[in-house]
Structure 1
Amino acid sequence: MNSQRKLSYQAIMEVSEGNHGWKSILLDHIGVSRQALNKFLHHRKTDWEHKNDLLTEVVLKTYKDHFQRIGAGKILSHITKEHLLDFEVTYYQVRRVMRSEGISCKSKAKKRSRKDDNDQHEKDNVLNQNFEVEKPNMVWLSDSTQLEFGIKETHKVKLSGILDLCSRKIIGSFISPSETAEAEIAMFKETFEEMGDVHPMVHTDRGPAFTAVSFNKLLDEHKVIRSFSRPGTPYDNSPMESWWSNFKGIWMDSHPRPATLEALIKLVQDGIDYFNNIDRLPTKNGLTPEECWNKAIAK
Structure 2
Amino acid sequence: MGKGRKTLVLVIAKLRKKYTLKALLNYTKLAKSTYYDALKKLSREDKYKGLKTLIHNICNKNHGRYGYRRVTMQLHKQGIKINHKVVMRLMKEENLTCKVRAKKYKSYRGQEGKIAKNILNRNFKAEKPNEKWATDVTEFALCNRKIKEAKGIILHSDQGWQYQNKRYQKLLKEKGIIQSMSRKGNCLDNAVIENFFGLLKSELFYLKKFKSVEDFIKELKSYIKYYNTKRIKIKLKGLSPVEYRIKFQLVV
TM-score w.r.t. the length of structure 1 is: 0.43
Trace 1:102-181 onto structure 2 (pairs within 5 A): 124-147=117-140, 157-158=141-142, 175-176=143-144
Matched, 1:267 2:223: no
Letter in 2 for 1:245: G
SS of alignment partner, residue 125 of structure 1? coil
SS of alignment partner, residue 250 of structure 1? helix
Per the TM alignment, residue 267 of structure 1 is displaced from its structure 2 partner at its CA by: 1.3
Per the TM alignment, residue 141 of structure 1 is displaced from its structure 2 partner at its CA by: 0.5
More strand by share: 1
User: Cα 1:227–1:296, aligned 2, differ >3 Å: closer, same or farther?
Assistant: farther
Among candidates 157, 173, 176, match of residue 223 of structure 1: 176
Tell me how far apart the structure 2 counterparts of residues 221 and 215 of structure 1 sit (CA, whole Å).
10
Structure 1's consecutive aligned runs of 4 or more residues displaced over 6 angstroms after TM superposition are none
2:86 is matched with which residue? none
The answer to whether the Cα contact below 8 Å between 1:134 and 1:296 also exists between their aligned partners in 2 is: no
Matched, 1:241 2:194: yes
Structure number, greater radius of gyration: 2
The answer to whether the Cα contact below 8 Å between 2:156 and 2:180 also exists between their aligned partners in 1 is: yes
1:286 is matched with which residue? 238
Per the TM alignment, residue 262 of structure 1 is displaced from its structure 2 partner at its CA by: 0.8
Aligned-pair Cα RMSD in Å: 2.3
Per the TM alignment, residue 298 of structure 1 is displaced from its structure 2 partner at its CA by: 4.1
1:207 is matched with which residue? 160
The answer to whether the Cα contact below 8 Å between 1:141 and 1:237 also exists between their aligned partners in 2 is: yes
Tell me how far apart the structure 1 counterparts of residues 227 and 241 of structure 2 sit (CA, whole Å).
7
SS of alignment partner, residue 206 of structure 2? helix
Per the TM alignment, residue 280 of structure 1 is displaced from its structure 2 partner at its CA by: 0.9
Identity of aligned residues (%): 27
Aligned length: 140
Per the TM alignment, residue 126 of structure 1 is displaced from its structure 2 partner at its CA by: 0.9
Tell me how far apart the structure 2 counterparts of residues 292 and 220 of structure 1 sit (CA, whole Å).
32
Name structure 2 gaps, 5 residues minimum: 1-111
1:40 is matched with which residue? none
SS of alignment partner, residue 145 of structure 1? coil
Per the TM alignment, residue 265 of structure 1 is displaced from its structure 2 partner at its CA by: 0.8
User: Cα 1:129–1:296, aligned 2, differ >3 Å: closer, same or farther?
Assistant: farther
Q: Deviations over 1:62-105 (max 9, x none)?
A: xxxxxxxxxxxxxxxxxxxxxxxxxxxxxxxxxxxxxxxxxxxx
User: Cα 1:281–1:232, aligned 2, differ >3 Å: closer, same or farther?
Assistant: same
